[in-house]
């Protein structure tokens, strides 16, 4: 499996505090069947993102990592005025392996009508935004139709593995189910922060997905789609995964937002 969202880099944010913890997180990932993991430290007003420091930390982790897992680089990019301006000036600074795919996280308080504008702005810069864990935002509770509309307009969607298995509560799981039923989910990722509560393990989510939606769907969400982000390839042409990376011809239509 390929995990596109994790806080495994030691000492950069609220994820792993040490190389020792990082190596335990990687060992857990390997044991659960993950072959590739993207290190995505927060880029937010609370956690400054220094590309050189991230590069150096990724190199250290690669050198110490157990066999069987590849470390990739990205960011957990928070929507914030200054950060968006920086991403527009340096479109590949925060993206997965410097390709078109960019994880985006919404701030706690944001007028929902501004989200499509931000997404469209990022897409115009050649980026393909991936909205992280919509099921976990208080402001998006019950707003399945909004997320579906964003997905239909070009924004990809990632849900958290542990949301599927109930760790974030029944409301979050129900929203995941509604989005999956609507084929408005493109990735399942760990968003791992530690070795106890928010771990790198994706096997339980895979089992849940396989039982409810079948093995091909689980593979799409945990293997094929996330693997395409590593090399900047278009997502495989299968249902919800048919959108092209950075596709400019699919201009968003935000009529829903008036
Ligand atoms: Fe995250």
Q: Give 188-208 pLDDT, tens digit per residue.
A: 999 999 999 999 999 999 999
Distance 51 CA to ligand 1 centre (A): 17
Tokens 């060992």 label which residue? 27
How confident is the model over 223-239, as a mean pLDDT?
A: 91
- pTM, two decimals, is 0.91
Distance 40 CA to ligand 1 centre (A): 7
Q: How confident is the model at residue 238 (pLDDT cuts 50, 70, 90)?
A: low
Residue 139 has pLDDT above 90, yes or no: no
Distance 258 CA to ligand 1 centre (A): 30
Q: For the packed helices 203-213 and 170-181, what is the interaxial angle rounded to 10 degrees?
A: 50
pLDDT at position 61: 98
Q: H or E stretch including 12?
A: none
Q: How confident is the model at residue 248 (pLDDT cuts 50, 70, 90)?
A: very low
Distance 249 CA to ligand 1 centre (A): 30
Q: How confident is the model at residue 169 (pLDDT cuts 50, 70, 90)?
A: very high
Q: For the packed helices 114-124 and 144-152, what is the interaxial angle rounded to 10 degrees?
A: 20
**Pure H helices in the chain:** 19-32, 51-64, 81-89, 114-124, 144-152, 161-164, 170-181, 203-213, 215-219, 225-231
Distance 187 CA to ligand 1 centre (A): 14
pLDDT at position 79: 93
Distance 116 CA to ligand 1 centre (A): 21
Could you give the strand order of the β-sheet that contains 187-189, starting from the edge strand earlier in sequence?
42-43, 76-78, 101-105, 128-132, 156-160, 187-189
232-239 CB contacts, 8 Å cutoff, 24+ apart = 232/96, 232/97, 232/99, 232/100, 232/101, 235/156, 235/186, 239/183
Distance 191 CA to ligand 1 centre (A): 5
The residue ranges of every structural domain in the chain are: 2-233
Residue 257 has pLDDT above 60, yes or no: no
The CATH H-level (homologous superfamily) assignment of domain 2-233 is: Metal-dependent hydrolases (3.20.20.140)
What value, to the nearest 5°, has the Cα angle with vertex 134 and ends 52 and 83? Answer: 30
The CB density around residue 248, as the number of other CB atoms within 10 Å, is: 10
Q: Give per-residue pLDDT as tens, 12-30.
A: 999 999 999 999 999 999 9
Residue 242 has pLDDT above 50, yes or no: no
Distance 15 CA to ligand 1 centre (A): 9
pLDDT at position 241: 41
- Report DSSP letters for 138-165, one per residue: GGGTT-HHHHHHHHHTT-EEEEEHHHHT
What's the CA gap between 258 and 255, in Å, rounded?
5
Q: How confident is the model at residue 233 (pLDDT cuts 50, 70, 90)?
A: very high
Distance 104 CA to ligand 1 centre (A): 9
How confident is the model over 210-239, as a mean pLDDT?
A: 94
Mean pLDDT of the chain, nearest integer: 91
Residue 244 has pLDDT above 50, yes or no: no
Residues 6+ apart with CB under 8 A from 57: 9, 10, 11, 12, 39
Distance 227 CA to ligand 1 centre (A): 18
């Amino acid at each position: 499996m390929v995990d596109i969202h994790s806080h495994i880099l030691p000492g950069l944010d609220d994820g792993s505090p040490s190389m020792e913890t990082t190596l335990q997180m990687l060992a857990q990932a390997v044991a659960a069947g993950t072959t590739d993991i993207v290190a995505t430290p927060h880029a937010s007003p609370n956690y400054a993102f220094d590309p050189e420091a991230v590069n150096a930390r990724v190199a250290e982790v690669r050198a110490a990592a157990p066999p069987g897992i590849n470390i990739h680089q990205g960011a957990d990019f928070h929507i914030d005025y200054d950060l968006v301006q920086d991403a527009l000036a340096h479109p590949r600074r925060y993206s997965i392996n410097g390709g078109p795919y960019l994880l985006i996280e919404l701030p706690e308080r944001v007028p929902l009508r501004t989200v499509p504008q931000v997404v469209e702005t990022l897409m115009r810069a050649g980026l393909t935004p991936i909205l992280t864990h919509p099921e976990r935002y208080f402001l998006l509770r019950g707003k399945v139709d909004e997320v579906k509309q964003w997905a239909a307009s070009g924004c990809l969607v990632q849900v958290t593995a542990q949301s599927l298995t109930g760790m974030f509560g029944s409301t979050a799981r129900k929203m995941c189910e509604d989005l999956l039923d609507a084929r408005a989910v493109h990735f399942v990722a760990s968003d791992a922060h530690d070795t106890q509560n928010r771990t790198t393990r994706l096997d339980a989510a895979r089992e849940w997905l396989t039982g409810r939606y079948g093995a091909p769907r689980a593979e799409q969400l945990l293997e094929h789609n996330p693997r395409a982000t590593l090399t900047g390839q278009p997502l495989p042409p299968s249902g919800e995964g048919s959108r092209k990376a950075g596709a400019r011809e699919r201009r968003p239509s935000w009529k829903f937002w008036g």
